[in-house]
């Protein structure tokens, strides 16, 4: 049974996903082109967005670690159970469970990392309010 190559490919896939994901910026507010934005310009608006995001990071509590850990654990559990069933059919429940748990944990980790990189509704609301107080109108996030 070629277990080692599949685990190496799994590790390579995980590392690739993490590297690709780390280069992507998260969603940012989209500003309506009102008179204030036209007056101050896009460069000033970008600076104001960054300042509002920094304030939000300071005041809005985040639970990213719990999200990533929880998704990883759930993925490992589901993958382990699925792998055990599949392995039992072939007469190798133990190895099936181990491979299933590894695959499930990886999928859960990737899902958790993606969710943790997304701003929470409270974070978005904080940034939107901060921008509104500075004269901007946020019409959504992208």
The pLDDT, as a whole number, for residue 76 is 63
Tell which residue, 109, 122, 103, has the closest CA to residue 21.
109
Taking CA atoms, 111 is separated from 52, 82, 118, in Å, by 27, 18, 11
The pLDDT, as a whole number, for residue 110 is 57
The pLDDT, as a whole number, for residue 22 is 46
- Residue spans of the domains in the chain: they are 28-62+124-142, 70-119
- Please list, residue by residue across 71-95, b when 16 or more beta carbons sit within 10 angstroms of its beta carbon and e when fewer do: bbebbbebbbebbbeebeeeebbee
The pLDDT, as a whole number, for residue 134 is 98
Q: How many CB atoms lie within 10 A of CB 123?
A: 19
Residues (pLDDT < 70) of the chain are: 1-25, 63-76, 78-80, 82-88, 93, 95-116
């Amino acid at each position: 049974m070629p277990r080692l190559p599949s685990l190496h490919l799994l590790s390579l896939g995980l590392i690739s996903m993490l590297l690709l994901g780390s280069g992507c910026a998260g969603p940012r507010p989209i500003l309506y082109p009102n008179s204030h934005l036209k007056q101050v310009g896009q460069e000033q608006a970008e600076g104001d967005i960054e300042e509002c995001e920094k304030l939000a990071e300071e005041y809005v509590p985040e639970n990213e670690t719990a999200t990533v850990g929880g998704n990883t654990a759930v993925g490992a559990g589901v993958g382990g159970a699925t792998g055990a069933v599949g392995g039992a059919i072939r007469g190798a429940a133990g190895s099936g469970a181990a491979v299933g748990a590894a695959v499930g944990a990886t999928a859960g980790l990737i899902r958790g990392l993606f969710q943790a990189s997304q701003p929470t509704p409270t974070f978005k609301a904080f940034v939107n309010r901060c921008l509104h107080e500075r004269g901007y109108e946020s019409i959504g996030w992208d």
